[in-house]
Structure 1
Amino acid sequence: MAESLGNMKRTHMCGTLGPHHIDEEVTLMGWVQKRRDLGGLIFADLRDRAGIVQIVFDKDISEEAFAKAEKIRGEYVIAIRGVVKRRHAVNPNLPTGEIEVFASEMKILSEAQTPPIYIEDEDDVSENLRLKYRYLDLRKSRMQKNLMFRHKVAKVVRDFLDENGFIEVETPMLTKPTPEGARDYLVPSRVNPGKFYALPQSPQLFKQLLMVSGMDRYFQIVKCFRDEDLRADRQPEFTQIDIEMSFVDVEEVLAINEKLLQRIFKETMGIDIEIPLQRMSYREAMERYGSDKPDVRFGFELKCINDIAENCSFKVFADTVKNGGDVRGINVNGYGNRFSRKDIGKLEDYVKTYGAKGLAWIKVTEEGVNSPIGKFFHDAEMDKILQRFDGKPGDLLLFVADKPSVVLDALGHLRVEIAKQLGILNKDEYKLLWVTEFPLFEYDEEEGRYVAKHHPFTSPMEEDLELLETAPEQVRAKAYDIVLNGIELGGGSIRIHSTELQQRMFKALGFTTAQAWEKFGFLLEAFQYGTPPHGGIAYGLDRLVMLLTGNDSIREVIAFPKTQNASSPMTEDPSVVEERQLKELHIRVVLDQNQ
């Protein structure tokens, strides 16, 4: 039978007690982690979000409390009143291990059935089961620490931005569908039959309108929604730290955000990061690392050997260069002996998943080179290759020859995969850098046209404006991403604030004037009434917290996440709705017969 609290009021959290509380009377409340009956004494570990403390029930102190303690089991919710005493057998693995509490009074507030999952940090429960019983999973110490750390990061962000003149403004959750890249989540309107709202993929248009309104400095920690295929660091709903500023250019946005990141690392991790952060242009990042979000904690940088390969006797290399492709490679410095021919074969299979046709290799030994392609190169050519890669005995050179996009993608992923296999990625090392000067456009093969690399409101660099209509692929954007250990934390840009330039941008993207006004008319009209130059950035809060807590999935730092198929095993959503609701919304569901 559950009891009420009565006159008991909690005085301390379990994990906050220590030797300085000895001989104090305390009242604690929480969950029973485990219970041990030693006859005349019963020991129970009591847990709340602050930690665990040992409770002692002694018949000589309170027969009533002892009798109740005989009934309790794991996950019972109890309240106890008692005196803190020094523990004879100290538990060095417990922060409260020097003390214990001798109970004089106890109430059973709630009984509990045996839980379907263990409430322990180190368990072997499937993720699906963890998500089905998420409210139990969240009782685990590590999960509570993750959420408390997330809270701390959000608080540091709010405090810093408030100190620097930013105003937190909420923007609508129900808005107009706009083509921003991913699919929208649509919400039917009952009072406007046949019409739909969209859940925002980001507050992009509204934060620009706030700059038009004169808000000057805005931020928001906000939910965003994208209907896209999921992976470890994606969710259908995710949280952004959204920031926008007026009367700024790239350098001012980067500078204030470097200070923000510096504060986050210092106050949440105790880590000092030096600013200004490393900068790298998009072109340099792709050339050196094969990625626009390079992990710079290790080497294995890409090198191009087109000048050596174009006239060599190895037909695969020579023909690739003659047909406009690239031949590039990486040097796995000093680790060549770790890879057998079988291991290299597995690496070849790996690069094929990124479109590469094969993987050539050269091992450098004390006796010379060992390679199946070595016979196709003259000594002078081989010397040039070794010099290009600074090849020394013990090194392994790996090459991909293909069209440039495939080469960069394959080698960019390969260098990271090899670093993982070698175990040289240090989670306690944090390498931040800005990647700047992104292309304004990228070509979409499926649609047969150029699309915006970031979004259609990104400003071109002034020196490239004349190329907007004639050579759009060469236009660079005033866009920047912040990268941590090979993962994009956030990105932003200086926005277009001119109606004329915005219309030129829409035209380059294939929008007619009528289409542009249909989709974005409210923004274009707003620009006609005086618009300050402005720009900003958005961080993925989930991803930032994931990295700082050393997790590999953002589901570990979100209270109630979805699975890989965008569903919740706990609430069983998405779900079928009643026909009555569909009629009210003027919607009819037509099932695909092939599904």
Structure 2
Amino acid sequence: MHAYRSHTCAELTAADVGKTVRLSGWVNRVRDHGGILFVDLRDHYGVTQVLCDPDSAAFADVEKLRSEWCIRIDGDVKARAPELVNAKIPTGEIEVFVREVEVLGPAAELPLMVFGDQEYPEETRLKYRYLDLRREKMQANMKLRSDVVASIRRRMWDAKFREYQTPIITASSPEGARDFLVPSRLHPGKFYALPQAPQQFKQLLMVSGFDKYFQIAPCFRDEDPRADRSPTDFYQLDLEMSFVTQQDVFDTIQPVIGGIFEEFGGGRKVDQTWEQISYRDAALWYGSDKPDLRNPIKMQVVSEHFAGSGFAIFAKLLEQDGTEVRAIPAPTGGSRKFCDRMNAFAQKEGLPGMGYIFWREKTADAVAQELGITVKEAQAKLKSGEVEGGMEAAGPLAKNIGPERTEAIRQQLGLGMGDAAFFLGGKPKQFEAIAGRARNIIGDELGLTDKDRFAFAWIVDFPIYEKDETTGKIDFEHNPFSMPQGGMEALQGDPLEVLGYQYDLACNGYELVSGAIRNHRPEIMFKAFEIAGYDEAEVRKRFGGMVNAFQYGAPPHGGCAAGIDRIVMLLANEQNIREVILFPMNQRAEDLMMNAPSDPTSDQLMELGLRVIPQD
């Protein structure tokens, strides 16, 4: 018999009754039922119930076992009584009577329990991550991640891609985040960088003629942490193709991503049609370039109804250039309590508040005022049906702008009895993000968001440039390496009107994929950077390797990258990306288990020619 096991803890079934077996694993829990000791023995694959009675020679040893001790047992497989069968686990038809037990690794007092669903502080979980990872949910998440990566690889090979590995130690190349720098021992005072992405290398592979590349690539960015982003490193499906258009990239990646969600989504609906929404429309309708389309709410511009109206705040605001008023429809949100709650949300976000109108059944007070009768008479007429109640608009805005404008807003938004609308005004960039968050909250609280669905949309037509409101300087708003739509000719006009062949894939409010058709023509690249204030010499200094390569027959090419951590987070139905990463950093980019970052030794600093300047 094998030194440690003849079977895993998920293999034994009724067909094995009568066999002598050897199992190894961890003590999940010990139960004493009338002097008979039951042990749930757990390994990576499952759980087997083993038991020992006082007549067994191993009883004294089993009595000493505690949670999370690593043990080996020899025993005989017995059938459970029919009424004791546990259909929830593969080994539920049997149990193993212990004949011998060996402790392979005793456990000290546990800082967190593995069995059960107790909640522990993140600090504890990360410091003792090796214990946290033994928990059933974490085991499932990491198995899911491994299976997703394996499936991605199979799908990419099936699509005729080959996997190539690009360097980890390379040159610093600004790509929107801070680099992690690595000092060079052989070249004192100079630094390598960990790649933020394999961007330049995969483009060079296209120049090298490899046509279709992919990689499950580690990427390193010194970023502030968020729930959906690791502060140090992450993995992405990185791909690039030659001789392709934007639509070709979409047609290639959609079956891969869609197939992954169908395979591992647990039966949740996966949208088959992926809309293409312009960046500007996404900002207008959803207040975000990564909209959650499970929520059907679309925001609209309603400036015309407030211009010159009795609501002075919006009326005066609209006299300024570049301002507008937008409405967030809220079907079924027509109660003062809900409207007040959303107004409080806006105040927490730093706004004075959020205007609202809601439509309700006409009250006796309103009927009395219309007909010039008493409220009591109005109540009687409503009750008898002599007067139809109908619908009225309520809220401060409705009173200020009057019934005609209010009705025009209701008709534009397609709202009715029991519905509401919320309003924000100003320069769109100043309130769009808050409007987007309000839209999400409204969708969730009113039950409008379909939680059992994966909804995808391509966000396209990103502007390449933006203007600094203070200095008036033109700079890149998005990826500077995207091919401008219209090529060199597009760069001759207003920079703020130049759109790039850049695209993101949004799913359920997260950005899953980002990519572009690349600017592979040096003369167009130099002009694009010139508009943003970078001369040719600066471009050659920063991106010399790529620019030089483009002078030797560069093919048109494009690609994208999909965040694996984020994909698995959605599939696992987790809210925090650290739940699907084996050994993540905490919110302060610290590894509590390995004590990183750590202080270098004096010898290390001397060897690298470095000195640490104390921070005040």
The amino acid that maps onto 2:287 is G
Instruction: State the match for 1:285 in structure 2.
Output: 282
> Residues of 1 paired with 2:171 and 2:116: CA distance?
43
Question: Structure 1: which 5+ residue stretches go unaligned?
Answer: 1-5
Mapped pair 1:429 → 2:453: yes
The amino acid that maps onto 1:576 is D
The amino acid that maps onto 1:180 is E
> Residues of 2 paired with 1:331 and 1:195: CA distance?
56
Q: Deviation at 1:435?
A: 1.1
Instruction: State the match for 1:333 in structure 2.
Output: 331
> Residues of 2 paired with 1:18 and 1:427: CA distance?
38
CA gap 1:275/1:321 in 2 versus in 1, 3 angstroms: same
> Residues of 2 paired with 1:90 and 1:316: CA distance?
70
Q: Deviation at 1:398?
A: 0.6
> Residues of 1 paired with 2:339 and 2:245: CA distance?
52
Instruction: State the match for 1:238 in structure 2.
Output: 234
Query: What secondary structure, in the 3-state scheme, does the structure 1 residue paired with 2:50 have?
Result: strand
CA gap 1:82/1:454 in 2 versus in 1, 3 angstroms: farther
Instruction: State the match for 1:185 in structure 2.
Output: 180
Contact 1:211 1:531 (C-alpha < 8 Å) held by counterparts: yes
Contact 1:328 1:407 (C-alpha < 8 Å) held by counterparts: no
Instruction: State the match for 2:610 in structure 1.
Output: 587
Which stretch of the first structure deviates more once superposed, 170-179 or 554-563? 170-179
The amino acid that maps onto 2:344 is K
Mapped pair 1:129 → 2:129: no
Contact 1:327 1:400 (C-alpha < 8 Å) held by counterparts: yes
Mapped pair 1:381 → 2:405: yes
The amino acid that maps onto 1:73 is R
> Residues of 2 paired with 1:583 and 1:48: CA distance?
47
Q: Deviation at 1:195?
A: 0.2
> Residues of 1 paired with 2:299 and 2:572: CA distance?
30
Aligned partner of 1:268 among 252, 264, 268: 264
Instruction: State the match for 2:77 in structure 1.
Output: 84
Q: Deviation at 1:122?
A: 1.1
Which stretch of the first structure deviates more once superposed, 495-504 or 466-475? 466-475
Aligned partner of 1:154 among 140, 149, 153: 149
Instruction: State the match for 1:74 in structure 2.
Output: 67
1:299-328 CA distance string (max 9 Å, x none): 232111112211212111112222121101
Instruction: State the match for 1:529 in structure 2.
Output: 552
> Residues of 1 paired with 2:61 and 2:468: CA distance?
69
Instruction: State the match for 1:298 in structure 2.
Output: 295
Q: Deviation at 1:230?
A: 1.0
Q: Deviation at 1:436?
A: 1.2
Contact 1:327 1:407 (C-alpha < 8 Å) held by counterparts: no
> Residues of 2 paired with 1:330 and 1:37: CA distance?
60
Query: What secondary structure, in the 3-state scheme, does the structure 2 residue paired with 1:523 have?
Result: helix
The amino acid that maps onto 1:191 is L
Q: Deviation at 1:564?
A: 0.7
Mapped pair 1:321 → 2:314: no
Query: What secondary structure, in the 3-state scheme, does the structure 2 residue paired with 1:15 have?
Result: coil
Q: Deviation at 1:265?
A: 2.0
Contact 2:169 2:195 (C-alpha < 8 Å) held by counterparts: yes
Aligned partner of 1:414 among 421, 425, 438: 438
Which stretch of the first structure deviates more once superposed, 432-441 or 540-549? 432-441
Instruction: State the match for 1:222 in structure 2.
Output: 217
Query: What secondary structure, in the 3-state scheme, does the structure 2 residue paired with 1:69 have?
Result: helix
Q: Deviation at 1:270?
A: 5.7
Mapped pair 1:480 → 2:503: yes
Contact 1:427 1:550 (C-alpha < 8 Å) held by counterparts: no
Mapped pair 1:510 → 2:533: yes
> Residues of 2 paired with 1:348 and 1:76: CA distance?
52
> Residues of 2 paired with 1:465 and 1:350: CA distance?
46
Q: Give the TM-score normalised by the residue count of structure 2.
A: 0.90
The amino acid that maps onto 2:109 is T
1:92-124 CA distance string (max 9 Å, x none): 554433321122332211111121111135112
Matched length? 582
- CA RMSD, Structure 1 to Structure 2 (Å): 2.0
Aligned partner of 1:405 among 423, 426, 429: 429
1:410-441 CA distance string (max 9 Å, x none): 21111112233445544431111111111122
Instruction: State the match for 1:36 in structure 2.
Output: 31
Which stretch of the first structure deviates more once superposed, 333-342 or 129-138? 333-342
1:181-221 CA distance string (max 9 Å, x none): 11111110011000001111111000000111111111111
> Residues of 2 paired with 1:40 and 1:400: CA distance?
69
Q: Give the TM-score normalised by the residue count of structure 1.
A: 0.93
Query: What secondary structure, in the 3-state scheme, does the structure 2 residue paired with 1:178 have?
Result: coil
Instruction: State the match for 2:196 in structure 1.
Output: 201
Query: What secondary structure, in the 3-state scheme, does the structure 1 residue paired with 2:335 have?
Result: helix
Contact 2:28 2:115 (C-alpha < 8 Å) held by counterparts: no
CA gap 1:273/1:345 in 2 versus in 1, 3 angstroms: closer
> Residues of 1 paired with 2:585 and 2:190: CA distance?
27
